[in-house]
Structure 1
């Protein structure tokens, strides 16, 4: 049976194994997203936090800590920290992208306004740093603070790179490492740090999270052009309409003839899109095998993630993390 058709998917199995820890994380999140003086903060935060996301990033922190034998309380703080950072970036991203839908529901900026989304995102970043400090670990603070800065840097880089046909796969990877993989790698790494593992194990946890995050984003970009709207919560072609140069398009542009390049220049760089343009874009992606080649890249990163796990202690959680890497790419099989 394939992972995608399995009765219990890997992230669900991980969630079941970590159920008591996740319950503690959810309780801490509810407690820390409260605000005595600004009731809009928990309203906006709850809309996104309780929207039914997989909570993959905090589960990675919990799994890494447990895999490494940690039995203290602070993995819960770190998991909540990771979720707050992720939620804050989503609130900000939806404002920047002028998005109207997230996880199949209206975005916070649509239901409230841009100011509320930005300011509540700022509040969550502040809360995340309070949680980091409570662990008493300068190393943890250093890793997560660096990840927060890297995420912001990646988002700013994307502003200039996303609509520039000169954007290369190398630049794309830099953007992805910033806006997505940085939090995955920090989430796994701090689980090991809190367990006081040796440097080789800590590096393996970082490498796993980094590769998984890159794979995750490539798959997300592929699903935008060929996914199920009900499953993804996004409309097919949103990235095209938002003029984002993602990996499949970058590959197609690199192989384009003069007429095709003019099409991409008009639709992506200049934003002059007409009826039928999305369908033509899909035809060009197929013509140049861009989707299949991007899928091959995703499979390569999944393999890198699984290879990193070989340096971790034997544990049933290690096998769940291996299955998770397979499942991420199984979504585009």
Structure 2
């Protein structure tokens, strides 16, 4: 009788290697963030602090810091630039919550619910301005071009998503274009600028850009899957927000494409804003399970995560490369 072969169980990926790698530098970044979010107008630091101190992963600035470790950068310019990246991200979150009418962000009341829409938009503008101040202080036109271009692309992606809202015929190609702009552009820029400040080769710049871009797409794919497969406590936002807002994310696109005529009729009504009750959300999730739409979305995320890891192949093995690779796998295995 032969013994049963038990496959080796790989530990679930975590952000711990990335957190450990960037801990010291992140302390410097946090000092910059706390300093630059201050204002003589008390509402500004109060509102900004509500979100900035709200328990986010800080993944985007960590990419700048980890990228600097990967290429052996010995200076400190990346600290301010990582803070600028976080300010850009935070500003977009504040604006997004107003556009979406969100009630929750990172498990607590969204800023717009507490402080109102006008103040939330204006403080988002303030943080954008602070980000550009930090870029100008760095003095590199190349860095300024990369981050300012990313900011414009993010805005274009958000507008494109807005115009695709409640449009049931939105294609997977357009969806990928939207998330490539609204999410992946900042991941790519955050990763790339570490190679710029270290005066790396064009090939290394492109590799870090590709890493960040593919990671960003994977990250957003999982976010969109989680809207139908997690709960509010885990996600830090209301389950089914995308469903109620009529957002055409990949799980919906796949469930609609794979559904029969009756199911497609439901999706047309739901995305059109006519079937948005809790019972309708439960039925939507049933349809997604029937057609493996959420799992297929995660499979696509894994594909992009693998592409991100492959992009790092030109760099030598070491703690930084390992941390960046594990961050990509964490992005697709996470439940929040």
TM over 0.5: yes
Give 2:309's aligned residue. 306
> Aligned residue for 1:269?
272
Which runs of 4 or more aligned residues in structure 1 lie more than 4 Å from their structure 2 counterparts after TM superposition?
none
Q: For the Cα contact (< 8 Å) 1:3–1:326, is it kept in 2?
A: no
Provide the C-alpha distance between the structure 1 equivalents of 2:91 and 2:49, rounded to a whole number of angstroms: 12
Q: Which runs of 5+ in 2 are unaligned?
A: 1-8
1:14 aligns to what?
Answer: 18
Distance in 1 (CA, whole Å) between partners of 2:123 and 2:17 is 32
Kindly indicate whether residue 251 of structure 2 is the aligned counterpart of residue 248 of structure 1. Answer: yes
- The residue correspondences of 1:49-68 to structure 2 (distance < 5 A) are 49-68=52-71
For 2:234 and 2:296, the matched residues in 1 are separated by 23
TM-score (norm 2): 0.94
Tell me the equivalent position of 1:89. 92
Structure 2 Cα separation of the partners of residues 300 and 14 of structure 1: 21
Q: Is the 8 A contact 1:68 1:313 kept in 2?
A: no
Q: Distance in 2 between matches of 1:22 and 1:72?
A: 14
1:102 aligned residue: 105
User: Please, which of 41, 45, 50 is the counterpart of residue 44 of structure 2?
Assistant: 41
Q: In 2, Cα distance between the equivalents of 1:59 and 1:35? A: 25
Stretches of structure 1 lacking an aligned partner (at least 5 in a row): none
Quick check: 257-266 or 161-170, which moved more? Answer: 257-266
Q: Distance in 2 between matches of 1:61 and 1:161?
A: 31
Partner of 1:157: 160
Q: Aligned partners of 1:286, 1:162: CA distance in 2, in Å?
A: 23
* Cα-Cα RMSD: 1.5
* Distance in 2 of aligned mates of 1:72 and 1:33: 24
Which residue in 1 is equivalent to 2:332? 329
Q: Distance in 2 between matches of 1:73 and 1:298?
A: 33
Give 1:128 shift. 0.4
Q: How far did residue 277 of structure 1 move?
A: 0.7
Cα distance between partner residues in 2 of 1:246 and 1:315: 36
Match of 2:124 in 1: 121
Counterpart position of 1:281: 284
Instruction: Give the conservation status (yes or no) of the 8 Å contact 2:56–2:106.
Output: yes
Rounded Cα–Cα distance in structure 1 between residues aligned with 2:173 and 2:16? 33
Compute the displacement of 1:228 (Å): 3.9
Change (3 A) 1:267 1:103: same
Residue in structure 1 matched with residue 148 of structure 2 by the alignment: 145
Say if 2:87 and 2:130, in contact at 8 Å, map to a contact too.
yes
Change (3 A) 1:274 1:32: closer
Residue 215 (structure 1) aligned to one of 182, 196, 218: 218
Q: Name 1:166's counterpart in structure 2.
A: 169
Structure 1 residue 46 displacement after superposition: 0.4
Q: Deviations 1:132-156 (Å, cap 9, x if unpaired)? A: 1111110000000000000000000
How far 1:244 sits from its partner (Å)? Answer: 1.3
What displacement does 1:332 show?
Answer: 5.5
Retained in 1: the 8 A contact 2:245–2:273?
Answer: no
C-alpha contact 2:235 2:335 (8 A) present in aligned 1? no
Q: 1:283 deviation in Å?
A: 1.4
